[in-house]
Amino acid sequence: MSALMWITVVSLAAWCWLLLCQGFFWRTDVRLPPRREPDAWPSVCVVVPARDEAAVLPASLPSLLAQDYPGRAEVVLVDDGSTDGTGELARELSRRHGGLPLTVGSPGEPPAGWTGKLWAVRHGIGLARARDPEYLLLTDADIAHAPDSLRALVAAAGAGGFDVVSQMARLRVASLWERLVVPAFVYFFAQLYPFRRIGRRGSRTAAAAGGCVLLRADMAERARIPDAIRHAVIDDVALARAVKGVGGHVWLGLAERVDSVRPYPRLHDLWRMVSRSAYAQLRHNPLLLLGTVAGLALVYLVPPAALVAGAAGGSVATAVLGALAWAVMAGTYVPMLRYYGQPLRLAPLLPFTALLYLLMTVDSAVQHYRGRGAAWKGRTYARPGAVPDEG
């Protein structure tokens, strides 16, 4: 057997393992668990960190203000040093639409050791605690919620005994690049953090989706959220780990009517979204970077390369093995394409999208070593605990 055939065999074996042994990550049926409405609805405070979000607030904030929630609920929007009138626009939207009470706060500049977003979240939670809520809903400024979203989250948390109930908002898929890259983004995330394992008691797998996180207020204090994760760039995963670290129960699944309204029309926009935190996901470790690049190449790039090389070189076995691995890969991607309402002809293009993600990850590392590092709304963090740069 040639070296390429051996490598292709390993790639096919990897796909068989991913198909059957990685928590059935490719399935998209993990939705809000069965729920029953409580006799008395607990109080909730919605915390929205917002920095220069005037472009998306008109499509998102009214959906929060219009929540059909039987208990006491209010919204706290933290205007984190915006220069586009985000805070005043939020007040105007509240006056125009009515609904849940809205408080707009401003935290000032974050101290050293804090990411800007988590400093804003800390300020928002501080304002919320004055209302003594039983739950906190942490949601991003670009997330639009169906009218019963808060009601469904709270009912699911109470029925399942969850300390965190998080939904991965459905991202926009309107432009060509969004259709190519966005479903794969969620697919890769689920591959790293299989949703079924996250919700299993005793499982060490922990993750959440920052756009929609319902958190018990007493668990936030117990897990020291957000102080314990103040330097985390990937704050949603860090939050879930902190909660599980003190014995909490976390659930994460795909959303049905919680949607991101932020557009990513160009490849450049999507590239920045991924590369800003990809190397942080690898803990800024060069060895993990090398292993990730090698793993992506083995799993996603070898199958089509083996098919082409085997066909061109007359090695039928290599071509067949490559085709089988590619077919399994594409088959696992089909449910995510269906979830996003995309044509199934995009499934065989997953190796190309994986190559893009490989390059984004490498670029993230390059930017880190150039001193730029991760970024959130104009702030960059060259290393954990670094002082924010307002570039």
Neighbours of 265 (CB within 10 A): 13
Q: What's the pLDDT score for residue 386?
A: 44
> Above 70 in pLDDT, residue 45?
yes
DSSP tag of 154: H
Q: What's the pLDDT score for residue 349?
A: 98
What is the mean predicted confidence (pLDDT) over 342-353?
98
> Above 70 in pLDDT, residue 388?
no
H helix or E strand, kind and range, residue 376: strand 374-376
Q: What's the pLDDT score for residue 359?
A: 98
Q: What's the pLDDT score for residue 251?
A: 97
The half-sphere exposure of 46 on its side-chain side, counting CA atoms within 13 A, is: 34
Give me the residue label for tokens 């501080």.
126
> Above 80 in pLDDT, residue 385?
no
List where CATH 3.90.550.10 sits in the chain.
44-263
Q: What's the pLDDT score for residue 380?
A: 60
CATH architecture group of domain 44-263:
Alpha-Beta Complex (3.90)
CA distance 299 to 324: 12
pLDDT digits (tens, 9 = 90+) for 154-206: 999 999 999 999 999 999 999 999 999 999 999 999 999 999 999 999 999 99
Q: What's the pLDDT score for residue 377?
A: 59
Q: What 3-state DSSP class applies to 50? A: strand
> Token digits for 149?
């979203």
Nearest Cα to Cα of residue 248 among 220, 211, 280, 210: 220
pLDDT digits (tens, 9 = 90+) for 86-137: 999 999 999 999 999 999 999 988 998 898 899 999 999 999 999 999 999 9
Q: What's the pLDDT score for residue 233?
A: 87
pTM over the 0.85 mark: yes
Q: What's the pLDDT score for residue 389?
A: 40
What is the mean predicted confidence (pLDDT) over 195-223?
96
Output the CA–CA distances (angstroms, integers) from residue 59 to 65, 146, 170, 260, in the order listed. Answer: 12, 12, 15, 10
pLDDT digits (tens, 9 = 90+) for 267-302: 999 999 999 889 988 989 999 999 999 999 999 999
What is the mean predicted confidence (pLDDT) over 323-351?
98
Indicate the pLDDT class of residue 333, thresholds 50, 70 and 90.
very high
> Above 60 in pLDDT, residue 387?
no
What is the mean predicted confidence (pLDDT) over 44-62?
97
pLDDT averaged over the chain? 94
> Above 90 in pLDDT, residue 35?
no
Q: What 3-state DSSP class applies to 45? A: strand
> Above 80 in pLDDT, residue 330?
yes
How far does CA 72 lie from the centroid of its chain? 28
> Which carries the bigger pLDDT value, residue 387 or residue 4?
4
Lowest-confidence segment of 139-148, 299-308, 364-373 by average pLDDT: 364-373
> Token digits for 334?
């089909």
What is the mean predicted confidence (pLDDT) over 345-359?
98
